[in-house]
Amino acid sequence: MENLDNKLFRIEGKVQNYDWGGKSFIPNLISESADANTTYAEYWLGAHLKAPSNVITNKGSVSLDIFLNENPIANLGEEVANTFGKIPYLFKVLDVHKMLSIQVHPSISAAKIGYKKENELGIPLTASNRNFKDENHKPEIMVALTDFWLLHGFLGSEKLVKNLKETVELSFLLNTFLEDGYLGLYKKVMEYTQEEVNAILRPLVKRILPKFRNHELDKSSPAYWAAKSLDNKDSEDIDKGIFSIYFFNILNLSRGEAIFQDAGVPHAYLEGVNMELMANSDNVLRAGLTSKHIDVKDLIKNTKFEETIPNILNGIKNKANGEVVYKTKARDFELSKIELVNTVEYSAISNSVEILMALKGNGTVSQNNESITLNKGESVLIKANTAYQINTISEVEIYKASVPK
Q: By C-alpha distance, which of 23, 24, 16 is closest to 92?
A: 16
Radius of gyration of the chain (CA): 22
Query: Which pLDDT band, with edges at 50, 70 and 90, does 49 fall under?
Result: confident
Q: Does position 1 have pLDDT exceeding 80, yes or no?
A: no
Instruction: Tell me the residue type at 155.
Output: L
3-state secondary structure of 272: strand
* Tens digits of residue pLDDT in 171-230: 999 999 999 999 999 999 999 999 999 999 999 999 999 999 999 999 999 999 999 999
Q: How many residues would you count in the chain?
A: 405
Other beta carbons within 10 Å of 85: 12
Query: Which pLDDT band, with edges at 50, 70 and 90, does 12 fall under?
Result: very high
CA dihedral for 271, 273, 275, 277, sign (positive or negative): positive
Residues 6+ apart with CB under 8 A from 157: 177, 307
Note whether 352 and 299 are within 8 A (CB): no
Q: Give the mean model confidence (pLDDT) for residues 382-388.
A: 97
Note whether 389 and 372 are within 8 A (CB): no
Query: Which domains are delineated in the chain?
Result: 316-402 (2.60.120.10)
3-state secondary structure of 16: strand
- Maximum Cα–Cα distance across the chain: 70
What are the beta bridge partners of residue 102? 288
pLDDT at site 231: 87
Q: What is the pTM of this model?
A: 0.94
Q: Does position 281 have pLDDT exceeding 90, yes or no?
A: no
Q: Does position 2 have pLDDT exceeding 70, yes or no?
A: no
Report the C-alpha gap between 191 and 175 in whole angstroms.
17
pLDDT at site 126: 86
Note whether 300 and 306 are within 8 A (CB): no
Report the C-alpha gap between 372 and 138 in whole angstroms.
32
Cβ-count burial 253-274 (b if 16+ within 10 Å, e if not): beeebbbbbbbbbbbbbbbbbb
pLDDT at site 122: 96
Q: Is 222 left (phi over 0), alpha (psi -120 to 50) or beta?
A: alpha
Q: Give the percent of the chain with pLDDT over 90.
A: 91
3-state secondary structure of 343: coil
pLDDT at site 234: 74
Instruction: Tell me the residue type at 85.
Output: G
Angle at which helices 194-213 and 222-230 pack, to 10 degrees? 100
Which residues are marked as active site? 286
